[in-house]
């Protein structure tokens, strides 16, 4: 198999609405992404994940798909997409599209047909009860809003009816299909047909939205995993170079059981991601990279290490700088802590993902009205800030036509202000990515070993082959016993001192040493 490219890839996530507007209508588009490929490549990213670009009424920013095989006109045409793909491949860059398998928009033609009172081809594509008087409380249903005599299950927002992959535990046999039924597998076939459509165009795989949501009442996700295994077999035999990355955040289930090539490490409750980056309210219980530095690296490791160990021979856990669903990092930590967190992300195993704008420290806006079902997520979806031209270089449209307003708060970041400026978030990230790509021992699948990690203590020290990383976000210098003979400093942020048998890692610093 040749998904080997994942081993050396660093991804860039693009929210297409907000990246670059090539035709001055105020919204980002595919031609715009193509124009900026060299920028992404220059940062060091060699793969891209684009949020949904399919035809949609945009009740959930495109995660409500109306037609899986059509490009949303506001992003361009199929020709524009093929142009983008060709331009990316020419630069040796990969492109993942966002696959939304769990639900469609309620405007999708399958649903339009299913909700009609007349029998039709797609009656079992969704999950309808037999009568509108049947609405068991444990299910999230839309009731009495179409002429078909039945209520239907929704997967996320009300405009996103759940596709029918059946039930694992059946509670209501009158209307629930088994996950082994032909009706459930007909949905799998329809999904595979969509996947083939794009894979045949040459895309390099999919990021899979809510990948764990397919089969209902499937608590251990065995039936959902069975579907993905079946899809993985199709990929291995017909598209061996393409990959599947799951939004799941459970590597045992997603990578080991379901066969995903990689899984995101997300901000789900109880997850180590929050222990690292996203706790800020309780002063005694903060994240490891919080400015006040009262975090606990062992709380992260308790979650991460078992997940890493069980999945490392099968796939990758993906550390992300952020994504389109959560507040950007400046909401939680200072610029310097963000830089330290980038050093961590870019020296850990797994496939790293950079969310557009995080390379310059774009901010989270708390003052915006919801856009396209964004709600609290809207503030992380504002246009990319390129330079000091009109609309910060994002678009030539009139300001009031922009998809979302730009951030003009004091000291707002732009690419132009950081490119080529030593010490900037952008330049440090670029150096870290370059370092990772130049050294096989820092690549996505090389060995990772913990050297020093103590409850509620700093620093955290870990090895990647002959490299050792020391990371101390706390407000005190820390001294660590360490045989430094034959070591050479490779990269650092902040300060350090090297003795014969110890390393002093200064407050709020990162150091990467290498045994020669």
Give the closest residue to 133 by CA, choosing from 144, 124, 145, 122. Answer: 144
Residues whose CB falls within 8 Å of the CB of residue 90, separated by 6 or more in sequence, listed in order: none
β-bridge pairing 94-99 and 205-208:
parallel
63 binds ligand GLC, rule: CB under 6 A: yes
Taking the complex as a whole, the smallest distance from the CB of residue 100 to ligand GLC amounts, in Å, to: 6
Smallest distance, Å, CB 110 to ligand GLC?
16
CA distance 487 to 307: 31
Question: With 0-12 CB in 10 A as exposed, 13-18 as middle and 19+ as buried, what is 90?
Answer: exposed
CB-based closest residue to ligand GLC: 63
Shortest spacing between CB 247 and ligand GLC, in angstroms: 6
Least separation in angstroms between CB 356 and Ca ion = 16
Site string for Ca ion, 22-51 (x = CB under 5 A): -x-x-x-x----------------------
| Residue 111 to residue 104: CA distance in whole angstroms | 8
Binding letters toward ligand GLC, positions 179-218, x by CB under 6 A = ------------------------------xx--------
DSSP-derived letter for residue 416 is H
* 451, 461 contact by CB (below 8 A): yes
User: Quick one: what does residue 29 bind among ligand GLC, Ca ion, none, with the CB cut-off 5 to 8 Å set by partner type?
Assistant: Ca ion
Residue 141 in tokens: 């249903």
Structure tokens of 499? Answer: 């003795």
The residues, any chain, with a CB within 8 Å of residue 321's CB and separated by 6 or more, are 329, 341, 342, 345, 352, 353, 354, 355, 358, 359
Q: Is 92 helix (H, G, I), strand (E, B) or coil?
A: coil
Asked if 60 is part of the footprint of ligand GLC (rule: CB under 6 A), the reply reads: yes
**Shortest distance (Å) from residue 28 CB to Ca ion:** 6
Binding to ligand GLC by residue 372, rule CB under 6 A? no
Q: Which of ligand GLC, Ca ion, none does residue 247 bind (CB under 5 to 8 Å by kind)?
A: ligand GLC
Report the 10 Å Cβ neighbour count for 130: 12
Which strands form 94-99's sheet, in the order they lie side by side? 316-318, 262-264, 243-246, 205-208, 94-99, 47-50, 11-14, 353-355
Q: Applying CB under 5 A, does 183 fall inside the site for Ca ion?
A: no
Residue 275 sits in the site that holds ligand GLC (CB under 6 A): no
Among Ca ion, ligand GLC, none, what does residue 21 contact (CB within 5–8 Å per kind)?
Answer: Ca ion
Of 324 and 514, CB closest to ligand GLC: 324
Pick from ligand GLC, Ca ion, none: which does 210 bind, CB < 5 to 8 A by kind? Answer: ligand GLC
**Residue 247 contacts ligand GLC per CB under 6 A:** yes
Assigned token pair, 337? 């802590």
User: Is 80 among the residues that bind Ca ion (CB under 5 A)?
Assistant: no
Q: Residue 213 or residue 391: which is nearer to ligand GLC going by CB?
A: 213
Closest to ligand GLC by CB, 100 vs 307, is 100
Q: Which does 263 bind (CB under 5 to 8 A by kind): ligand GLC, Ca ion, none?
A: none
Tokens of 472: 């101390």
Q: Phi and psi of 136, rounded to 5°? A: -55, 135
Least Cβ distance, residue 60 to ligand GLC (angstroms): 5
Per CB under 5 A, residues contacting Ca ion are 21, 23, 25, 27, 29
Per CB under 6 A, residues contacting ligand GLC are 60, 63, 100, 156, 209-210, 247, 324-325
């Amino acid at each position: 198999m040749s998904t080997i490219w994942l081993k050396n890839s660093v991804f860039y996530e693009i929210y297409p609405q907000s990246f670059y507007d090539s035709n001055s209508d105020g919204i980002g588009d595919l031609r715009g992404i193509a124009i900026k490929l060299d920028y992404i490549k220059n940062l060091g990213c060699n793969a891209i994940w684009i949020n949904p670009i399919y035809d949609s009424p945009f009740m959930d920013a495109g995660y409500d798909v109306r037609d899986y095989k059509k490009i949303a006109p506001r992003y361009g045409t199929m020709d524009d997409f093929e142009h983008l793909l060709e331009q990316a491949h020419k630069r040796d860059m990969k492109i993942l599209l966002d696959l939304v398998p769990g639900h469609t928009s309620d405007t999708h033609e399958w649903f339009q047909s299913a909700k009609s009172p007349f029998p039709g081809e797609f009656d079992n594509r969704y999950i309808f009860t037999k009568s509108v008087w049947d609405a068991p409380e444990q299910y999230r249903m839309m009731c009495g809003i179409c002429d078909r005599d039945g209520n239907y299950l929704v997967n996320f927002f009300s405009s996103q009816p759940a596709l029918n992959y059946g039930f694992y535990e059946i509670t209501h046999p009158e209307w629930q299909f088994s996950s082994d039924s032909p009706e459930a597998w007909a949905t799998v076939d329809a999904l595979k047909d969509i996947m083939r459509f794009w894979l045949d165009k040459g895309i390099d795989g999919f990021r899979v939205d809510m990948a764990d949501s397919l089969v209902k009442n499937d608590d251990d996700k065995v039936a959902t995993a069975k579907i993905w295994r079946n899809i993985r077999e199709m990929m291995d035999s017909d598209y061996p170079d393409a990959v599947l990355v799951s939004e799941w955040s459970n590597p045992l289930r997603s990578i080991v059981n379901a066969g995903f090539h990689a899984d995101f490490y997300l901000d789900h409750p109880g997850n180590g991601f929050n222990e690292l980056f996203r706790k800020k309210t309780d002063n005694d219980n903060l994240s490891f990279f919080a400015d006040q530095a009262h975090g606990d690296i062992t709380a992260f490791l308790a979650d991460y290490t078992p997940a890493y160990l069980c999945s490392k021979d099968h796939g990758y856990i993906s550390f992300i700088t952020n994504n389109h669903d959560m507040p950007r990092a400046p909401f939680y930590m200072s610029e310097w802590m963000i830089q330290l967190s980038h050093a961590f992300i870019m020296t850990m195993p797994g496939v790293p993902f950079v969310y557009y704008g995080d390379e310059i420290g774009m901010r989270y806006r708390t003052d915006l009205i919801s856009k396209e079902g964004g709600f609290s997520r809207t503030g992380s979806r504002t246009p990319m800030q390129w330079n000091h031209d009109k609309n910060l270089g994002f678009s030539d449209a009139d300001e009031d036509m922009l998809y979302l307003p730009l951030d003009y708060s004091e000291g707002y970041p732009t690419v132009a202000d950081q490119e080529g400026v030593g010490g900037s978030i952008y330049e440090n990230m670029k150096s870290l990515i370059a370092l990772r790509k130049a050294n096989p021992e820092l690549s996505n699948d090389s060995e990772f070993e913990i050297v020093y990690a103590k409850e509620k203590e700093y620093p955290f020290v870990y090895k990647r082959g002959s490299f050792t990383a020391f990371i101390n976000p706390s407000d005190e210098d820390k001294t660590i016993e360490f045989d430094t003979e034959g070591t050479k400093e490779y990269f650092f942020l902040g300060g350090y001192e090297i003795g014969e048998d110890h390393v002093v890692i200064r407050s709020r610093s990162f150091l990467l040493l290498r045994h020669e």
